[in-house]
Chains A and B, each alone.
Chain A
Amino acid sequence: MKKTIGNSFRMQMLLSVFGAFIILVLSTTYILYSTIKLQELSDNSFQRERFIKSIQEALIAYQEPLLEYLSTRSSNALARHLIESQQLRSSLPASMAVSRDPTELREKEVYSLIEAFLDLADAAVDEKRGRNISGYTTLYDEMTTLLRYINAQIEIIGTDRFRNQLDRYGAFIGISRNIQSWNLVFIVAISLFAILLLLRSVEKTTLPMTRLSSMATGISEGNFGMEDIKMSSIYEIDHVVEAFNRMKSEIGSQIEEIRRQENIKQEYMQEKMRNLKMEALVRRMEIYTLQAQMNPHFLFNTLNTGMQLAIVEGADRTGEYMEYLSLLFRHNVRNADIIVPLRHEIEGLKYYFYILKVRFPRNLDLSLDYADALLDDIRVPVSILQPLVENCVVHAFKNREERSSILVRAEKKGSLLVLTVADNGSGMDKGTIESLLHPLPIDASSSRVMGLENIIQRLYFFYPDDPGVIRIESSLGRGSSIVISIDTEREPCMEF
């Protein structure tokens, strides 16, 4: 908005105050004017009566010098007569318009009669100067008659006017009261109008300031989404409002930017924290591995000693058992890789099967079904089959008298390597399956995750985008099948 005299704060305030003031002054002036006019109107009716009476008195007074002159021919009387005549003529209305009011018509006639009377008087004076006795005597008689008629007419006018005034007085008073009542209504209404006008101007001026205050409070409470304050058509206020709106908008956008950065930072920190936890977990796992490696070495050496002792003592079957046990330990200890060929897993499983067959020679059937072509081509996470078999031995056949069997199968279906560990054990209910497949987050679970849970967590870790990498098909009393489906075309995720 461009600053002009009209839209400046000072001018708006001046206009408001003086506007209301001028309205009140004009209203009061009108009331005063109408009251004065009513008084004048009331007085006018008497003024005309006073005037015509004064003319009548002047006319009577006029006769004295005239008669004196006509009687004595005195020059003083003549002078007085001329002065009186002049004064009377000048006091008469120059020309009286024809009116429809009968009284005014009669008044007009009276002024004509008076002029005729003065003309007759002048003629009588002329006759006196010419010593025409009969002339001025006749004229004087005529004047006397005329004067009597004039006086009678003036009396009639007075009576008529008084009667008319009486008739009009009631109407005049009635209308005057009505006028004054309406004037009272007018002054009250216009005063209230002026006050409200002033109030509106003040409100118009202060409303943006009030909204500014309210908005400042809102901003201090962090609410930047409030609607912009509207302009008020007052330059100074609009200037402030515009600046405030701009300030609110800029602060809001900066706060938003800070919040966005803060969110990014928080996400980054959370990611970092997760990585740290993962690293800690990995280190712990490494330590466990080292610990696990240290103990097997001791056991491995001890087992070798035991195996040599069994051979020396001629216990061949014990020696063979200890040899397989030693091979199993060596198999577990020797390779520190995380991802290994399938052959490595199958070999380890064969050693483990031998030991299990020795342990459970009568009631456990173990079957291993695979194609040789798969063994070297496909790589899988290390130690994913043996713990599953061990899990079956430990949990699946508890409290069972019938013969137990475990089948391990490796097959390729399309791009998927499908590893199945099936038993005919007691099976699992759905709750157990759900709890196994949806374990607690790593950081919330026990650090010593072993067996089936360990396998599930590790598979989810290596294949995070494939929730079907492992599934459990089981029901109570009908055995369990744990199926691992690994997409051979995708590399396992190794990044922490």
Chain B
Amino acid sequence: MKALVRIGLISFGLLALIALSMSLSLARSLYSQASGDAGGRPNYHFSLYLPDNHNSFFAGIIAGAEQAAAETGSVLSLHYIDPYLNELEMASYTGVDGVVVCPYLDDRLARRQLERLSAKKIPVVIINHNVPADQPWPYIGTNNFDVGRKLGTIAGRISREPLNLAVVYSDKSPGIYGERELVEMGISSAIAGKLAAPIIGLRTSMNPLDAEQMLVHLFRTQPGINTIIFTDASDTLAAAQLLIDMNLVGQVQIVGFGAESGILEYIRKGVIAGTVAVNPERIGYEALMSLFSLRSTGYTSTSIDTGVDIIDRSKL
């Protein structure tokens, strides 16, 4: 009887302790989930303003910025620039510690909004597309002349024949579109003597499918076009599929933009001649690091070139 009581005491005591520990542990995890304080208090609250375009380029920028935020102990709130809601216009009232902006509207409007932020002493870093100003904001991104030169280099390697070249800009890549003159200068510098006719400039909207319709129209109206350069990944993919559908592979060469898996697959198959790849993660990362430096020390580099790479069949 005595031994039974002792065994019972030990067993039920242990069971009660285990049950209490489990209950407390679960309750603690529930409270911590509810309070959302995992990882400690952040230092700064930064905002990232991007065009309302959910492609891989911007996803890469977001991923890079979030990584930098985690490393610096900051938090990042994401805003898509909605012209109807004046998102960027309202940024100066949000009380954030700094703003990373990817401008895509016209430079005058963008400059005004950025100046409002500067007037409120909110640090600003620009990515992807620079906005000229008297007191320029730090810029992180590619040099679009360099982008054009790399695009032209790929186009120049395709054939010895004179090029009837069209460049398709897009609202989905506002940085390149905003500096399209620089891009064309870069292309021209790479293929100076090979152009059979002046470069034809085209533009697609935010619709990821409208490149198809535009190209059909182009082939009808400009049957001599033998090389097309794209500045957006979605447009590149749509064009490659159209070439296959219209049985124009080999007759019309495509120089793409971006390093999506679909584009790389088309390069392997020979549908796309090559592509240029920027590093959006690095852009996002460096942008937030610059902002952190600006917020914490007051200084940062005025410009960081994140580089452009050429990808063709030889590199796959």
Contacts and interface: CB of A to CB of B under 8 A. Distances in A.
Interface string A149-180: 10010000000000000001001100110110
Nearest to A197: B9
B9 A41 contact: no
A203 B1 contact: yes
B29 interface: yes
A192 B19 CA distance: 14
A113 interface: yes
Interface residues of B, number: 42
A38 B95 CA distance: 33
Given A109-B96, A116-B93, A149-B86, A176 B30 contact: yes
Nearest to B89: A145
Given A109-B96, A112-B94, A199-B5, A30 B20 contact: yes
Contacts of B23: 34, 179, 182-183, 186
A436 B290 CA distance: 136
Nearest to A110: B94
A65 to B, nearest CB: 22
Given A102-B77, A105-B77, A172-B30, A189 B12 contact: yes
Instruction: Label chain A's interface by main secondary structure.
Output: helix
A98 B194 CA distance: 57
A111 B95 CA distance: 9
Interface stretch (B35-43, B52-60, B236-244, B272-280): B35-43
A393 interface: no
Counting contact residues on chain A (CB < 8 A from B), the size range is 35 or more
B36 A97 contact: no
A189 B15 contact: yes
B266 interface: no
Contacts of B94: 109, 112-113
Interface string B265-293: 00000000000000000000000000000
B192 interface: no
B26 interface: yes
Contacts of B33: 168, 171
A145 B86 CA distance: 8
A196 B10 CA distance: 10
A193 B16 contact: yes
Contacts of A99: 36-37, 42, 75
Nearest to B14: A189
Given A41-B34, A102-B78, A106-B77, A175 B15 contact: no
Contact of A112 (B16, B85, B95): B95
A104 interface: yes
Interface string A65-107: 0000000000000000000000000000000011111101110
Given A179-B26, A189-B12, A105 B5 contact: no
Given A179-B30, A182-B26, A200-B5, 19 more contacts: A38-B27, A38-B30, A98-B75, A99-B75, A100-B38, A100-B42, A102-B78, A112-B95, A113-B93, A168-B33, A171-B33, A179-B23, A183-B19, A183-B23, A186-B16, A190-B12, A196-B5, A200-B6, A200-B9
24 contacts: A30-B20, A99-B42, A100-B36, A100-B38, A100-B75, A102-B77, A108-B95, A112-B93, A115-B95, A145-B90, A178-B26, A182-B26, A185-B15, A186-B20, A189-B13, A189-B15, A190-B16, A193-B13, A193-B16, A196-B9, A196-B12, A197-B9, A200-B6, A203-B1
Interface of B: 1-2, 5-6, 8-9, 12-13, 15-16, 19-20, 22-23, 26-27, 29-31, 33-34, 36-39, 41-45, 75, 77-78, 85-87, 89-90, 93-96
